[in-house]
């Protein structure tokens, strides 16, 4: 798996300068935003699911009388004490004389009763927590806000107005986390990190509705100026690389800390830690007969049990501790990412931590090169057939339709040509790029928009629409409509196919007129 190769750093260059160049190339070289787009889609789907599920228990977790009720949540964010180690060698006294002032004395005693410490000993009080749900407590308006947030997250997932929806999604997701800190777990921590980085980077620059809109816009502008439809590859962007690097480095920190902290536990050293997850009734699939049979079988054979448990422990530790170092080697990157996905697949299967595993796998996806993602998308979205779409450059409606087709043509199956071109193929200069038109000819009866397949069959009207949506895979959801009985007839009556006479090439018609 190859990353886009940066310019080679000169090995003979002075050492500090070489390191600075390497740092600059690592962080600030333009990067392919395609991977970021894929991460956005996957993360967006997880975020959407997580928040849709909140609908089931919105009042239980976010309401005024939730498990952590609003009164206590506000007390935590305003009053909870934070101590700090003394900044000298002298131990700080934990005893302070009672205040002279009665009001202050009462406050101190109340605070001690609630938090177990003298408020004057606290370095700081309260948390920097914030949430929509501290202020919106009426159940009706909570539902309104909640479903509006779901809508925003959907727009973020599909990549519409991503610059705005990414910020709103981050703000919204943190609102839920901050209001109900007792119900968050590892998945929420990773989610907040990823949303933060996707907000910083241009996560809508590829694989997004924003990108479709910009493809349409660029194509339309180009065709309007009688230029050929542009090749629409996403441009490498510096901020895309920054965001991807942030995700990658953060993943390395997560794995490293997770792995090294495990070394503090005896169960990870003696190889029994895995059993602590497999035999955990509240986590594992102990209601599944096959799972229980497997565990019983393992426990019947001590050697097998020890080998399986120890292997699992070693795999986990080697992967987590080794990942931050080995993943930067291009040859090992693919295997390390694969092993990380396997680890999280195992966590999902055996511990049913599905959302956590999915989000970690999504984070690991940040190491997949953009070229690989585009190749996969091409394979997925490129249909077998190629077409030529013949338009009249002076016809605004045809320009718009052609631009729309070109925007959705991610597999580059459709070539757009201008049918008003009166310069024949034999006459044109090979270096000519602009297509010339003769307004007088164009002003004559305009041939319709025509889709011509590789066998020369010509489609116009509804048939053009039907053929297009069925051939361009990105438009397959629309193609479903064409299979509905009656739609075809309706379409043909509103958008009939043009006659052969009308579809004659411009030169033939010109000769006929002459």
Neighbours of 68 (CB within 10 A): 15
Q: Give Cβ neighbours of residue 393 (< 8 Å, ≥ 6 apart).
A: 223, 224, 226, 399, 418, 420, 435, 437, 442
Q: Which among 80-88, 422-430, 459-467, 479-487 is the span making contact with other proteins, rule CB under 8 A?
A: 80-88
202 makes contact with other proteins (CB under 8 A): yes
Residue 122 is classified by DSSP as -
- Look up residue 55 and give its two tokens: 């609908």
Q: Output b/e per residue, 211-223; b: 16+ Cβ within 10 A.
A: bbebbbebbbebb
Per-residue binding letters, 289-328, with other proteins (x by CB under 8 A)? ------xx-xxx-x--x-----------------------
Q: Which of 109, 110, 280, 436 binds other proteins (CB under 8 A)?
A: 280
178 makes contact with other proteins (CB under 8 A): yes
140 makes contact with other proteins (CB under 8 A): no
Distances (CA, A) of 392 to 196, 419, 481, 502: 46, 5, 28, 13
- With contact defined as beta carbons under 8 Å apart, do 357 and 344 qualify? yes
Instruction: Tell the smallest beta-carbon distance from residue 449 to other proteins (Å).
Output: 22
Q: How far apart are CA 230 and CA 221, in angstroms?
A: 10
Q: Which among 100-108, 337-345, 349-357, 418-426 is the span making contact with other proteins, rule CB under 8 A?
A: 349-357
Q: How far apart are CA 269 and CA 275, in angstroms?
A: 13
Instruction: Tell the smallest beta-carbon distance from residue 69 to other proteins (Å).
Output: 5
Q: How far apart are CA 486 and CA 490, in angstroms?
A: 6
CA angle 195, 199, 205 (to 5 degrees): 115
Instruction: Tell the smallest beta-carbon distance from residue 129 to other proteins (Å).
Output: 6
Phi and psi at 387, nearest 5°, equal -140, 165
Q: Of 177 and 371, which has the nearer Cβ to other proteins?
A: 177
118 makes contact with other proteins (CB under 8 A): no
CA angle 487, 492, 496 (to 5 degrees): 165
Instruction: Tell the smallest beta-carbon distance from residue 448 to other proteins (Å).
Output: 26
The DSSP line for 159-214 is TSSHHHHHHHHHHHHHHHHHH-GGG--HHHHHHHHHHHHHHHTTTTSSSSHHHHHH
50 makes contact with other proteins (CB under 8 A): yes
Residue 120 is classified by DSSP as G
Give the total of residues touching other proteins (CB under 8 A). Answer: 113
Q: Which of 124, 307, 345, 490 binds other proteins (CB under 8 A)?
A: 124
Q: How far apart are CA 334 and CA 2, in angstroms?
A: 9
- With contact defined as beta carbons under 8 Å apart, do 173 and 123 qualify? no
Instruction: Tell the smallest beta-carbon distance from residue 340 to other proteins (Å).
Output: 13
Instruction: Tell the smallest beta-carbon distance from residue 49 to other proteins (Å).
Output: 7
Instruction: Tell the smallest beta-carbon distance from residue 35 to other proteins (Å).
Output: 16
- Look up residue 378 and give its two tokens: 């091409």
188 makes contact with other proteins (CB under 8 A): yes
Q: Which among 62-70, 386-394, 438-446, 501-509 is the span making contact with other proteins, rule CB under 8 A?
A: 62-70
193 makes contact with other proteins (CB under 8 A): yes
Q: Of 37 and 447, which has the nearer Cβ to other proteins?
A: 37
Q: Which of 34, 129, 362, 398 binds other proteins (CB under 8 A)?
A: 129
Task: Specify the length of the chain in residues.
Answer: 514
398 makes contact with other proteins (CB under 8 A): no
Instruction: Tell the smallest beta-carbon distance from residue 429 to other proteins (Å).
Output: 27
185 makes contact with other proteins (CB under 8 A): yes
Q: How far apart are CA 37 and CA 498, in angstroms?
A: 41
22 makes contact with other proteins (CB under 8 A): no
Q: Which of 10, 17, 22, 65 binds other proteins (CB under 8 A)?
A: 65
205 makes contact with other proteins (CB under 8 A): yes
Alpha carbon 456 to its chain's center: 40
Residues 412-471 that bind other proteins (CB under 8 A): none
Q: Which of 19, 23, 107, 483 binds other proteins (CB under 8 A)?
A: 23
Task: Indicate the SS3 state at residue 81.
Answer: strand
Residues 218-277 that bind other proteins (CB under 8 A): 218, 221, 235-239, 242, 246, 249-250, 253-254, 257-258, 261-262, 264-268, 272-273, 275-277
Per-residue binding letters, 357-376, with other proteins (x by CB under 8 A)? --------------------
Q: Which of 91, 102, 287, 427 binds other proteins (CB under 8 A)?
A: 287
Q: Which of 13, 60, 104, 106 binds other proteins (CB under 8 A)?
A: 60
Instruction: Tell the smallest beta-carbon distance from residue 496 to other proteins (Å).
Output: 32
Distances (CA, A) of 136 to 132, 146, 459: 6, 10, 56
């Amino acid at each position: 798996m190859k990353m886009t190769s940066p310019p080679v750093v000169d090995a003979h260059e002075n050492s500090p300068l070489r390191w600075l160049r390497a740092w600059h190339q690592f962080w600030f070289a333009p990067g392919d935003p395609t991977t970021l787009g894929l991460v956005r889609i996957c993360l967006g789907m997880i975020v959407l699911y997580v928040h849709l599920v909140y609908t089931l228990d919105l009042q239980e977790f976010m309401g005024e009388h939730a498990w952590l009720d609003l009164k206590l949540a506000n007390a935590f964010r305003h009053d909870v004490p934070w101590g700090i180690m003394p900044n000298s060698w002298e131990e700080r006294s934990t005893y302070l004389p009672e205040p002279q002032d009665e009001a202050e004395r009462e406050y101190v005693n109340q605070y001690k009763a609630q938090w177990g410490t003298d408020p004057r000993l606290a370095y700081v009080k309260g948390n920097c927590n914030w949430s929509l749900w501290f202020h919106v407590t009426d159940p009706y308006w909570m539902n309104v806000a909640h479903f509006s947030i779901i809508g925003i997250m959907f727009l973020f997932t599909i990549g519409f107005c991503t610059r705005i929806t990414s910020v709103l999604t981050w703000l919204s997701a943190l609102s839920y986390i901050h209001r109900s800190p007792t119900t968050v777990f590892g998945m929420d921590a990773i989610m907040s990190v990823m949303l933060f980085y996707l907000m910083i980077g241009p996560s809508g620059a590829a694989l997004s509705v924003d990108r479709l809109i910009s493809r349409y816009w660029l194509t339309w502008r180009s065709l309007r100026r009688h230029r050929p439809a542009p090749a629409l590859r996403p441009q490498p962007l510096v901020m895309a690389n920054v965001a991807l690097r942030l995700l990658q480095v953060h993943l390395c920190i997560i794995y490293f800390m997770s792995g090294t902290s495990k070394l503090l536990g005896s169960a990870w050293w003696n190889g029994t830690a895995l059993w602590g997850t497999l035999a955990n009734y509240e986590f594992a699939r102990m209601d599944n007969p096959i799972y229980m049979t497997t565990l019983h079988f393992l426990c019947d054979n001590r050697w097998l049990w020890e080998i399986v448990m120890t292997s699992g422990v070693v795999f986990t530790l080697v992967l987590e501790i080794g990942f931050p170092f080995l993943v930067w080697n291009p040859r090992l990157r693919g295997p390390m990412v694969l092993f990380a996905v396997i680890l999280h697949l195992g966590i999902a299967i055996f511990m049913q931590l599905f959302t956590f595993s999915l989000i970690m796998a999504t984070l690991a996806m940040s190491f997949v090169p953009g070229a690989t993602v585009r190749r996969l998308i091409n394979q997925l979205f490129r249909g077998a057939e190629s077409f030529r779409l013949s338009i009249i450059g002076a016809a605004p409606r045809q320009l718009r339709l052609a631009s729309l087709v070109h925007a959705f043509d991610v597999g580059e199956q459709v070539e757009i040509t201008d049918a008003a071109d009166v310069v024949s193929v034999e006459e044109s200069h090979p270096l000519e790029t602009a297509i010339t038109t003769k307004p007088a000819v164009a002003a004559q009866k305009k041939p319709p928009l025509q889709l011509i397949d590789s066998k020369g069959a010509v489609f116009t009207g509804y048939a053009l629409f039907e053929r297009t949506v069925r051939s361009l895979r990105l438009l397959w959801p629309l193609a479903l409509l064409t299979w509905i009985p009656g739609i075809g007839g309706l379409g043909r009556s509103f958008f009939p196919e043009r006659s052969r006479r009308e579809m004659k090439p411009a030169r033939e018609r010109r000769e006929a007129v002459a």
